[in-house]
Amino acid sequence: MKADIHMHTVFSEDSETPVETMVEESIARGMDIICFTDHQDYGLKPGYFQVDPDAYREKMIQVRDAFKDRIRVLIGIEIGMHMDYRDEIKSFLQKYPFDFVLGSVHLVDGVDPYDRALYPGTDDEMYRRYFEQTLECVRHIDGFQALGHLDYVVRYGYDQTAYTYQKYADVIDEILRELVSRGIALEVNTGGYKKGLGYPNPHPDIIRRFRELGGEMITLGADAHVPSYIGYEFDRAETVIKEAGYKEITIFMNKKPVFLEL
């Protein structure tokens, strides 16, 4: 079974791809299961990166049903986690049912690292602050089943080669322990390959460490915003996941884990 459970459509601020186009291309690429995870972010300018939840749900159900004989379409959301918006996140997630909630951190000290020059600190400071804020979110925000692209911030550093897991092992290990104790999965996001890092996010050292600390659930997603990135570099990522000791990846249906053999 092939599954890509992190992808975006026109419902996300940064994608223009119709939902049907993503489904058709997923079928063409041999996917058996996909999950849409359009952006619902907090802490950006008002209304920015916010989904229209009713329109989203209606469209996703319609597409899911229309394609049900060809592919299993799951309906998820990628929540941009932010400590100042805990109440908003909680009420959003209580109001709308999803198969899968992917919790991601997209900001560092309120700054989008995508625009690197806006963050005043060094790469080292920016990475450390990102991990510290991720730890806070993982500790205090409920309702998500997987942590998205841990170490994603490295994609935007000035010098990506200086990054190692070991430099931040103190705080990263705390994040991983928190995930394990709360039964939350770690996402392996192949966007890292796309950005030229040579590895997925997070780094393979972190995937191995998660396993050592007792982490049982890994999700896999390409974070495609256009059809050509669906399932991107999954063979490489699956090798990394297997080398870390995993025999299965996890998907979520109605927020319940389902294990797929690798």
Q: Which residue of 9, 104, 201, 250 would you call a contact of Zn ion, by CB under 5 A?
A: 104
Return the closest-CA partner of residue 168 out of 128, 109, 220: 128
According to CB under 5 A, which residues from 57 to 86 bind Zn ion?
A: 78
Which CB sits closer to Zn ion, 78 or 238? 78
# residues near Zn ion by CB under 5 A: 3
12 binding Zn ion? (CB under 5 A): no
Which CB sits closer to Zn ion, 192 or 215? 192
Closest separation in Å from C-beta 115 to Zn ion: 15
- Name residue, tokens 């994603």: 152
Which CB sits closer to Zn ion, 151 or 223? 223
Selected range binding Zn ion among 64-72, 156-164, 211-219, 223-231, rule: CB under 5 A? 223-231
Return the closest-CA partner of residue 188 out of 231, 128, 228, 156: 231
Q: Can you give the length of the chain in residues?
A: 262
Q: Give CA–CA dist 209/53, Å, rounded.
A: 36
Which CB sits closer to Zn ion, 78 or 123? 78
Residue 191, token pair as written in the block? 């966007």
Q: Which residue of 223, 233, 237, 249 would you call a contact of Zn ion, by CB under 5 A?
A: 223
Ramachandran assignment for 77, one of left (phi > 0), alpha (psi -120 to 50 degrees), beta (any other)? beta
- E-only strand ranges, 136-255: 146-147, 185-189, 218-221, 248-253
Closest separation in Å from C-beta 229 to Zn ion: 11
Q: Give CA–CA dist 224/232, Å, rounded.
A: 8
DSSP codes joined into one string, 11-36: TSTT----HHHHHHHHHHTT-SEEEE
Which CB sits closer to Zn ion, 116 or 170? 116
Which CB sits closer to Zn ion, 25 or 223? 223
Selected range binding Zn ion among 15-23, 84-92, 97-105, 210-218, rule: CB under 5 A? 97-105
Residues found near Zn ion in the complex (CB under 5 A): 78, 104, 223
